[in-house]
Amino acid sequence: MDRLATLRARACRLPVIRWFLDLRLQILALLLLFLLTLWGTLYQVEHGLWASQQRFFYSWFFVSGGFFPFPGAKLVLAYLFVSLLLVTVLRLSYRAQKTGLILIHWGLLVLLAGGGITHFQAVESFLSLKEGERSNLTSDYRNWEISVWTERAQATNGLPEKRAVEAIDTDRLLGGKAVVFPDAALTLIPRRLFQNAMPNIEAPPSGPQSASGFTGLSAAAQQTDPAQDLPGGEFTVLAAGATNQILLWAGEASPLHLGEKTIQLRRKRHPLPASLALKRFTKEEHPGTAVARRYESRVQLSEPRLSREVLIRMNEPLRFADYTVYQSSYSEEEGVPVSVFAVVKNGGRIVPYLASVLLFLGMLIHFGIMLVGRIRRREAR
C-alpha cells in the first residue's frame, strides 16, 4: 500500500505529468474551452453549425485571421481528459468519505471518453422510405460515391433482383487519376469536378451525355453545410473498347446507361445488418394548424433471425445492434407519405448513459455526505 503511495507521489513529480496535474493549467484549459464555445456559437450565425463544428470543435488546431494559430476544442478536451485521468489515478484520495467526488471524476472521465468514442467512430446517415418500401441501405449526408453495375432483365417475380454494384468514394477522384472498376471492366477518368454544381443550360447540345439530357455543368456557390451541395463532374469513360464523354451530377434521380453498364453519382450507401420496411406513416397535427403535434412510423424490422414490427417516433427511437434509428422528418411523394429516419451507428452510444449514472450517483453521495456532516455539526453545536 505504501509502495503504491510512493509510486504515485514519484509519478506526480515527473515534468510532463506535472503539466497535466497543474490545476492552474487546467483552469486555463477551461477558460480556452469557454472562449472556443462562445466563439463557435457566434460563428454559427454567419457560417452555420457544420462549419462551426469543423473549425472550433472537431479540430486540433485552427488558424484565425489567416495567421494566428489557435488550439481547437479537440485538443483542449484531450488535454482535460488526460489531466482528469492522471488526477484520478495519481492524485485522488480513495477514501470512503470521498466516494462522491471519486464517482464524479470517473463520471466526467467516462463522459469525455464517450465523446471521443462517438467522435472517432460513429457514422451518421439517413434513410427515406415511402410507405410500402423496404431497404437495407442508408445514405450518407456528405459523402458521395460513383457506382457502376450491369443492368439485367427483371426477375420474373417482379421484385428487383440482387445486383453486384461496384462503388468508389468520390474522394478518390480528387487527384484527377483514372479509376478502374475491374468487375465492370470500366475506366473512369475525371476531367472536371465540382463541389457543388448545376446543369448549364447554355452548353452546346453536342456536349457530353448525361442521364437527364443536359450537356454541360457549371460550378455553383458552395453551401455552408456540404450536405446541401450537389456535386458533379465531367468524365471520360473507357469501356468495351469505346470512349465516351459523360456528365454525372448528384441532382439526377436516375442513373446513366452506357450500353449495358449503368453508372450513377449518388450519396454514399451504408449497408444495415437488417432491412426496414415502412408499413405506415402517421402524422397528427394540432387541430386547425399545420404544426405537427407528433409523427410516427410503423416499421417492419427484418434481422437475419427475427422479423418484428416496431413503432418509431420522436423521442422514441429504434435501437438494434449498434444502430439507432430516429424519426427525423417526413415529406410526401406523389401523394404517398415518405418517412425520413436518421440512422446512427455508434458502438459507444451507451457510454454517455454510463457516465450520467456515475455523475448523478456521485453528486448524490457527495452532497448527501456534506448534508449529513452539516447536520451533525449543527447538532454538536
Partner 1 sequence: MIRGLSALLLLAVVAFASEVPAGKVSLSSFRAIAILDEGRIKPLDTFARGKLLQFSARETFAGKPAIQWLARVFFDPESAADDKIFRVENPQVTEALGVPAEASLRYSLKQLEPSFPALQELYRRIAPLPDKERDPVQKGVARLYVNVNQYLELQTAFLFAAPSPTLVISEPSVRARLGLPSHQTACSWLELRDLAPNLMTELERSDVSTEVMLAAQGMRQMAGNGAALSLPVLPVKTKEGLRWESPWPLLSAGISETNLLFSIHRLSRLRAAWISSDDAAFQREADGLRQEASSVCKSAGVTPPLKLEVAYNLISPFANARILYIAAFLLLMVSWLFIGPRARRLVTVAWGVILLALLLHACGIAARMAITGRPPVTNLYETFLFVAAVIVAVSLLVERTLGNRLGLLVGAISGTGFLFLAGRFATEGDTLRVLVAVLDSNFWLSTHVLAVTIGYAGVVLSGILGHVWMVQAIRGRAAAAAQTAKLVYGTQAFGLLFTFTGTILGGVWADQSWGRFWGWDPKENGALLIVIWSAMIFHARLVGWVRETGFAAASMAGILVVCFAWFGVNFLGVGLHAYGFSDGARAALYAYGSLQTLLILFGAWFAHARLAQSRGPE
CB nearer to partner 1: pick between 187 and 328: 328
Cβ atoms within 10 Å of 326's Cβ, excluding its own: 18
CB of 149 to partner 1, least distance (A): 31
CB nearer to partner 1: pick between 244 and 356: 356
CB nearer to partner 1: pick between 185 and 353: 353
Positions that interact with partner 1 (CB under 8 A): 23-24, 26-27, 30-31, 33-34, 37-38, 40-42, 44-45, 48-49, 52-53, 56-57, 111, 114-115, 118, 122, 124, 285-289, 291-295, 314-317, 324, 326, 328, 342-344, 349, 352-353, 355-356, 359-360, 363, 367
CB of 110 to partner 1, least distance (A): 12
Alpha-carbon gap, residue 139 to 266, rounded angstroms? 9
Query: How would you classify residue 344: left for phi > 0, otherwise alpha for psi between -120 and 50, otherwise beta?
Result: beta
CB nearer to partner 1: pick between 106 and 181: 106
CB nearer to partner 1: pick between 126 and 149: 126
Query: How would you classify residue 157: left for phi > 0, otherwise alpha for psi between -120 and 50, otherwise beta?
Result: alpha
CB of 64 to partner 1, least distance (A): 18
Which parts of 152-209 are beta strand (E)?
Answer: 166-169, 179-181, 186-194, 197-199
CB of 9 to partner 1, least distance (A): 20
Contacts for 233 with CB less than 8 Å, ≥ 6 apart:
173, 190, 191, 192, 193, 194, 197, 217, 247, 248, 265
Rg of the chain in Å (alpha carbons): 28
CB nearer to partner 1: pick between 157 and 315: 315
CB nearer to partner 1: pick between 117 and 168: 117
CB of 2 to partner 1, least distance (A): 28
Contacts for 266 with CB less than 8 Å, ≥ 6 apart:
139, 144, 145, 147, 250
Question: Locate cell 461496384: which residue?
Answer: 166
DSSP conformation class of 90:
I
CB of 59 to partner 1, least distance (A): 12
DSSP conformation class of 15:
H
CB of 152 to partner 1, least distance (A): 37
Query: How would you classify residue 84: left for phi > 0, otherwise alpha for psi between -120 and 50, otherwise beta?
Result: alpha
